[in-house]
């Protein structure tokens, strides 16, 4: 379900009733020393949704930018993530406290288990911890990242709260039909990481043709495709012009034929790690 906000970024209503702006700004690999400035730029461009993680070592910069922004807390949507080595009960609670402190926040909007790290078999215990954190109000919504269908199935059968979000690698070359269909069936919203294939934009003639037809860039067409197929997207850039470019995707619409052409680029081509290989 979507609704349009004043800055034209649609909101997705999550399974717990909270809303997430469908377009956000990711800060993976943003230099910790530059994060405050870059997130400030993103706020000035209009982004209100920021995606960070403990392992990015830049939560302090995000917190600094939030504090100095003058923006109302309720107008922002802030996500951070639990790193693999901190999975568990006491370790996860401690990691969460430290993330909140670095962000200088009383609550985050979304807290994610970063990877299942299934070989350690602690993601069920960790999810129980996130459930307690949600109950305490210090994370408005809780979700997972890099979870495949077997991991999600275990959560659904062995725990109480259905994840609000599953953040996974997703771009035209890797559309993850199985995981996204499972999410649709069970009310888990799909959030696309590396939505622009980490800048290796699709060098495909049909996408170039679509871009020229709309007077838009390849990146804008790909992000618009994500929006229209229902993904939450969190592109990253250090460059303010590209921040604005990636934000200017709500003044055009791809046709059904154009969506189908981009759907046809699926080639099961992963850029990042396979979830089974990350512990
Ligand atoms: P993206 O697909 O967002 O691509 C980022 C790259 O694309 C950068 O090199 C950037 O370069 C370039 N770029 C951005 N905009 C444009 C544009 N308009 N034209 C041309 N190039 C562009 O990759 P990320 O891996 O950063 O993913 C986005 C976010 O997803 C991360 O920041 C993070 O928040 C999240 N993530 C989550 C993971 C997880 O395991 N949960 C794993 C990986 C990412 P430049 O900066 O020079 O503009």
Across the beta sheet with 2-4, the strand order is 2-4, 10-13, 19-21
Burial profile 149-171: b = 16 or more Cβ within 10 angstroms, e = fewer: eebbebbeeebebbbbbbbbbbb
Quote the pLDDT of residue 202. Answer: 77
What is the three-class DSSP state of 114?
Answer: coil
Rounded Cα distance between 147 and 128, Å, is: 16
Rounded Cα distance between 186 and 153, Å, is: 10
Q: Is 69 contained in some domain?
A: yes
User: Among this protein's residues, is 56 annotated catalytic?
Assistant: yes
φ, ψ of residue 145 in degrees (nearest 5):
-145, 140
Quote the pLDDT of residue 204. Answer: 84
Q: Is 247 contained in some domain?
A: yes
Q: Is 272 contained in some domain?
A: no
Annotated catalytic residue, options 56, 107, 111, 123: 56
pLDDT tens track of the chain, all 279 residues? 343 344 589 999 999 999 999 999 999 999 999 999 999 999 999 999 999 999 999 999 999 999 999 999 999 999 999 999 999 999 999 999 999 999 999 999 999 999 999 999 999 999 999 999 999 999 999 999 999 999 999 999 999 999 999 999 999 999 999 999 999 999 999 999 999 999 888 778 889 999 999 999 999 999 999 999 999 999 999 999 999 999 999 999 999 999 999 999 999 999 999 999 999
141 Cα–ligand 1 center, Å: 23
CATH number, domain of 107, equals 3.20.20.100
Rounded Cα distance between 45 and 91, Å, is: 37
Nearest residue (CA) to ligand 1, atom 14: 237
Q: Is 274 contained in some domain?
A: no
CB within 8 Å of 254: residues ≥ 6 apart: 210, 214, 221, 224, 225, 228, 262
Nearest residue (CA) to ligand 1, atom 44: 193
Nearest ligand 1 atom, CA 238: 46
Q: Is 91 contained in some domain?
A: yes
Q: Is 279 contained in some domain?
A: no
Quote the pLDDT of residue 1. Answer: 37
Number of domains into which the chain is organized: 1
Contact 65, 43 (CB under 8 A): yes
Q: Is 275 contained in some domain?
A: no
Rounded Cα distance between 254 and 209, Å, is: 12
Nearest ligand 1 atom, CA 30: 32
Q: How many angstroms separate the Cα of 97 from the Cα of each of 92, 131, 142?
A: 9, 15, 15
Nearest ligand 1 atom, CA 114: 41
Q: Is 207 contained in some domain?
A: yes
Quote the pLDDT of residue 102. Answer: 98
26 Cα–ligand 1 center, Å: 7
Rounded Cα distance between 198 and 237, Å, is: 10
27: left (phi over 0), alpha (psi -120 to 50) or beta: alpha
125 Cα–ligand 1 center, Å: 31
Residue of 198, 225, 277 to mutate, ligand 1, most atoms within 8 A of C-beta: 198
- Which residue range forms the structural domain that includes residue 97? 2-266
Quote the pLDDT of residue 128. Answer: 98
Contact 91, 135 (CB under 8 A): no
Nearest ligand 1 atom, CA 197: 2
Quote the pLDDT of residue 7. Answer: 56
Quote the pLDDT of residue 111. Answer: 99
Structure tokens at 215: 């007077």
Helical segments of 5-116, H only:
35-45, 59-69, 90-103
CB within 8 Å of 15: residues ≥ 6 apart: 162, 164, 187, 188, 189
């Amino acid at each position: 379900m979507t609704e349009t906000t004043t800055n034209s970024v649609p909101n997705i209503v999550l399974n717990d009733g909270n809303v997430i702006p469908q377009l956000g700004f990711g800060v993976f690999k943003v230099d910790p020393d530059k994060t405050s400035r870059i997130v400030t730029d993103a706020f000035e461009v209009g982004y209100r949704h920021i995606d960070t993680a403990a392992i990015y070592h830049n939560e302090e910069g995000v917190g600094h930018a939030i504090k100095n922004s003058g923006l109302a807390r309720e107008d922002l949507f802030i996500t951070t993530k639990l790193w693999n080595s901190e999975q568990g009960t006491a370790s996860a609670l401690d990691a969460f406290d430290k993330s909140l402190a670095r962000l200088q926040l009383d609550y985050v909007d979304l807290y994610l288990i970063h990877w299942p790290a299934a070989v350690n078999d602690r993601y069920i215990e960790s999810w129980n911890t996130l459930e307690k954190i949600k109950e305490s109000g210090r994370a408005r919504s809780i979700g997972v990242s890099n979870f495949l269908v077997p991991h999600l199935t275990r959560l659904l059968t062995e725990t109480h709260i259905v994840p609000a979000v599953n953040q996974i690698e997703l771009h035209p070359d890797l559309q993850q039909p199985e995981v996204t269909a499972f999410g649709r069936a069970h009310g888990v919203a799909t959030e696309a990481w590396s939505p622009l294939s980490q800048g290796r934009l699709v060098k495909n003639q049909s996408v170039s043709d679509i871009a020229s037809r709309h007077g838009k860039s390849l990146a804008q067409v790909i992000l618009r495709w994500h929006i229209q197929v229902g993904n939450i997207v969190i592109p990253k850039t250090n460059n303010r012009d590209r921040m604005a470019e990636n934000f200017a995707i709500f003044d055009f619409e791809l046709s059904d034929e154009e969506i189908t052409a981009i759907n046809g680029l699926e080639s099961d081509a992963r850029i990042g790690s396979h979830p089974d290989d990350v512990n």
